A = this chain, B = another copy of it.
C-alpha cells in the first residue's frame, strides 16, 4: 500500500484511517474467529479502490461529507474487494495472496466460505451506516451483483477456446471494472461534485478497471516467475483463457487446439508451449493495444474533470498504474 500512495500524503493518511477502521470492525469474542478476522484485517493490498474513492472525493474544495463518513465508505470498498478475494482464493485453490498464506490454505475452504460471507455483511453494514435512504445503496448492491455475474460468467466460459473477445470484456467489466467504477463514482458523489463530474468519474473508473485487469492478464504471458506473485499461467490449467490467449488463438487456432484440448490435464511444459504460442502470434502485443485504448479513454475523460491539483494527481496515478512493466 505505502509505496503507491506515498506520493499522495493526504490520501495516504486517510488510508491509514481506513485500515484502522477495518481492524476495529474485525472483532469477535470467539478466539478462533478473532484469529481469522485478524488475518482478514492484515491482508492489505494496494488499496486501489479506497484510494481512488478518496482521491475523487477531493475534487471539490470543500468535501460535502465529514471525513469519518468518507473513511467508512472507503473501507466498505476495500472490504467488498477482500471478500471477493477470499472467495476467489477458494476457487483458485491459491496457497498465497500478496505473499501471505491465504485464508483458505490456513483455515480450510470451509471456514473461508463463511469468512468471505461475513465480510459481505460488514460491507453492507457500513453502507447502511453511511448511506441509508440514498440511491447509492442500490448502486452498491448492483455493482456487487455485476461483480458476481462477471465471476460466474467467467467460470461458465472455462475451457471454451473460441470465446469471443467481447465476452471476455463483458466478464472483466463485471468482475473488475464494476468496483473501480463504483469507487470513483461514489468518491465524486460523496465529495460533493456536480452531476457531470460524477458521471465522468464513473466512466474514468470503469476504463481504469478495464485496463488494469487486461494488464494483469497480460502479466501472465509476459513476465518471468520472479516478478509475478501468483503462479504463472495457473489460469490456463483452470481453463480461464484471458485476452492474450484469446487474441492469439483467433490468429492460429489449429496450433493451440491440441494443447488446449487437454483441458485441466495440461502439463506445465505444455502451458509453457501455450505461452510461447501466445507471444508468437502477437497475443500479448494485441492485448497491450486494447489495454492502451482503455487507458487513453480514461486519460481523455480525466482531462475533462474540473481543473484542480487532485485532477492532476488522478491523472498521474492512472498513468503510473496502467504503465506497469512487462
Interface residues of A (CB under 8 A from B): 28, 30, 32-33, 36, 84, 87, 90-91, 109-111, 113-118, 120-122, 124-125, 128-129, 132-134, 137-138, 141-142, 144-145, 148-149, 151-153, 155-157
CB-based contact A125/B142 at 8 Å: yes
A125 touches B141 (CB 8 A): yes
Nearest B-chain residue to A154, judged by Cβ: B114
The 6 A-B pairs of least Cβ separation, nearest first, read A32-B156, A133-B133, A121-B145, A91-B110, A118-B148, A124-B141
Chain B residues with CB under 8 A of A144: 121, 124
| A157 to B32 CA separation, bound complex (whole angstroms) | 8
Name A's interface SS: helix
**A131's closest neighbor in chain B, by CB?**
B132
A254 to B113, CA, bound (A): 35
A132 touches B138 (CB 8 A): yes
Asked whether A36 lies within 8 Å of B110 as measured between CB atoms, the reply is no
CA distance A84 to B110 in the complex (A): 13
24 contacts between A and B (CB under 8 A): A30-B153, A30-B156, A32-B153, A32-B156, A33-B152, A36-B152, A84-B117, A87-B113, A110-B155, A111-B155, A111-B156, A113-B116, A114-B155, A116-B117, A117-B120, A118-B152, A124-B144, A125-B138, A125-B142, A128-B141, A132-B132, A132-B137, A132-B138, A133-B133
List, in ascending order, chain B residues with CB within 8 A of A87's CB: 113-114, 117
Contacting residue for A138 out of B28, B128, B153, CB 8 A: B128
A118: which of B91, B118, B149 is its contact (CB, 8 Å)?
B149
Contact call A121/B133, Cβ cutoff below 8 A: no
Residues on B with beta carbons closer than 8 Å to the beta carbon of A117: 84, 87, 116-117, 120, 148
Expressed in whole angstroms, the Cα–Cα distance for A91 and B116 within the complex equals 13
Given A132-B132, A141-B124, A144-B121, are A33 and B114 neighbors across the interface (CB < 8 Å)?
no
Task: Determine whether the beta carbon of B114 is less than 8 Å from that of A152.
Answer: yes
Of all chain B residues, the one with the shortest Cβ separation from A158 is B110
Kindly provide the distance from the CB of A225 to the nearest chain B CB, expressed in whole angstroms.
25
Contacts of A109 in B (CB 8 A): 90, 109
> In the complex, A294 Cα to B154 Cα: how many Å?
47
Is there an interface contact between A33 and B156, defined as CB atoms closer than 8 Å? yes
Q: How far is the CA of A155 from the CA of B118 in the complex (A)?
A: 14
From B115, B128, B129, A152 is in contact (CB under 8 Å) with B115
Q: Are A91 and B120 in contact (CB under 8 A)?
A: no
> Which residue of chain B has the shortest Cβ distance to A124 in the bound complex?
B141
Please state if B121 and A148 are interface contacts (CB–CB under 8 Å): yes
Most buried by B among A84, A110, A111: A110
